[in-house]
Amino acid sequence: MQNKLTYIIVLLCFFLSIPIANSQSAKQKELEAKRQKYQNELKQINALLFSDKKKEKSLVSLVEDLNTKVNVRRNLIKVTNDQANLLTREINANQNEITSLRDQLKELKESYAAMVVKSYKSKSEQSRVMFLLSSENFKQAYKRLQYIKQYANYQKEQGELIKTKTLKLQELNTDLLRQKKDKDKLVLENRQVKKQLEIELKEQEELMVSIRKNLSTYASQAKQKQQEISKIDREIDRLIREAIAASNKKAGKTSSSKGFALTPEAKALAKSFESNKGKLPWPVENGVVKVKFGKQPSPIDRTLTIQSNGVRIATEKNAIVRAIFKGEVLAVIAQKNGNPTILIQHGNYITVYKNLKKLYVKKGDKIDTKQQLGEVFTTGNGESMLWFGLYNSNKPINPASWLYKM
């Protein structure tokens, strides 16, 4: 009875360990995907922001570029640390399981050896027959026959369990060697990434020293830039509000409504747009987010706040801008001292594409997904920046939740 109980406990331990291992493996895959993402982002940042050192950028632009790279590199270091720490926990768990398995195997082999000896001593057919014939009645004889069969089956199961656990032990030892190798590789890579981060932070500090010498001028420029951004944002808001009012007037509803009065076709379009949340293409083929959505401190003066109603995407020179979804050109804004902006309506959603040069569409045009809208404006020092925004009616929302892997 004791041997049977031991067998059941050992078997339970074996099967209960499997989901934990699978869970840890899934977590490692998730972390590895993140690590690959940050590594690819760094490659894009180097290609788009740091490829042409002959072009003289402004100090402000250089600081912004370095901030972008430093933030991604810090994310890379963090996720690599998380991977290494998870591997450490997996290694410890594997080592504990190996120790436990060895103890279990020792106990199983001892038990199995005892059974073999006992079986050998009583293996003669005469002994078994005498064991059955000595029964007091038929019922007892039947029970003894069943016992002989169960004992033989249990002996066979014990032998199979020893084989299974021996193979499991070999697999764990192989995994342990692989995990230790993976961890050593991650630690080495992280050490190199940290060295590069130190160089970039030093370069960043040197730039900030230059800026601090004339901080009031740079702060004034930052404020002026934010005012220009706010001006175009107000114009976008005005145009969307006018479009909302016009749609409600056409539908015979009150003009004070905050949302679009949608036709059945427009409702279907909005629903289709929503169903693609997180899967929508980027408005440029290659790009990195340089400024995120929402309120954030200025990289030049931390006391100043940047209000970003969208994202700023650094891209290639004269990059082609494309629609992220089918819709209709709601408006084209042509600024006196700025570059054109295109608004595209997708039901009650609006996408905004700022800082363009050439335009390929006009107001009222029907647009398909990934249709070319124009080209991004490229400055004299080679900087190409698309300002992309997303609105639900007249409320700006974070594009990062909608565009694929942003």
- Position 290 scores a pLDDT of 92
- Nearest CA to 325 out of 275, 264, 281 is that of 281
Predicted confidence band of residue 7 (pLDDT cuts 50, 70, 90): very low
Interatomic CA distance for residues 122 and 144, integer angstroms = 14
The torsion angle over the Cα atoms of residues 197, 199, 202 and 207, rounded to 10 degrees, is: -100
Q: Pick 260 or 170 by higher pLDDT.
A: 260
Can you spell out the DSSP letters for 222-291?
A: HHHHHHHHHHHHHHHHHHHHHHHHHHHHHTT--TT-SS----HHHHHHHHHHHHTTTTBPPSSSSEEEEE
Which of 4-13, 270-279, 334-343 has the least mean pLDDT?
A: 4-13
What confidence tens digit (pLDDT) does each residue in 341-394 have?
999 999 999 999 999 998 999 999 999 999 999 999 998 777 899 999 999 999
Interatomic CA distance for residues 314 and 231, integer angstroms = 22
Residue 220 has pLDDT above 90, yes or no: no
Looking at the chain, the number of H-run helices and the number of E-run strands are 6, 13
Q: What are phi and psi of 384, to 5 degrees?
A: -115, 120
C-alpha 252: how far from chain center:
46
- Position 118 scores a pLDDT of 61
Interatomic CA distance for residues 323 and 277, integer angstroms = 15
Instruction: Give yes or no for a contact between 355 and 339, defined as CB atoms under 8 angstroms apart.
Output: yes
For range 322-332, the mean pLDDT:
97
- Joined together, the tokens standing for residue 226 give 């934010």
Q: Which domains does the chain have, with CATH numbers?
A: 2-212 (no CATH), 232-401 (2.70.70.10)
Phi-psi region of 347 (alpha: psi -120 to 50; beta: other; left: phi over 0): left
What confidence tens digit (pLDDT) does each residue in 17-65 have?
444 455 557 888 999 999 999 999 999 999 988 877 656 678 888 888 9
What confidence tens digit (pLDDT) does each residue in 189-209 have?
999 999 999 999 999 899 899
Predicted confidence band of residue 5 (pLDDT cuts 50, 70, 90): very low
Cβ neighbours for 9, distance < 8 A, ≥ 6 positions apart: none
Q: Pick 101 or 242 by higher pLDDT.
A: 242
For range 164-168, the mean pLDDT:
75
Interatomic CA distance for residues 280 and 285, integer angstroms = 12
C-alpha 1: how far from chain center:
52
Instruction: Give yes or no for a contact between 339 and 357, defined as CB atoms under 8 angstroms apart.
Output: yes
Q: Pick 216 or 272 by higher pLDDT.
A: 272
Instruction: Give yes or no for a contact between 361 and 342, defined as CB atoms under 8 angstroms apart.
Output: yes
Q: What is the mean pLDDT of the chain?
A: 84
Interatomic CA distance for residues 390 and 367, integer angstroms = 16
Interatomic CA distance for residues 388 and 392, integer angstroms = 14
What confidence tens digit (pLDDT) does each residue in 252-262 have?
887 667 899 99
Cβ neighbours for 235, distance < 8 A, ≥ 6 positions apart: 333
What confidence tens digit (pLDDT) does each residue in 86-141 have?
988 888 887 887 787 777 767 767 776 665 556 555 554 445 555 555 767 767 76
- Nearest CA to 403 out of 320, 284, 314, 259 is that of 284
SS3 121: helix
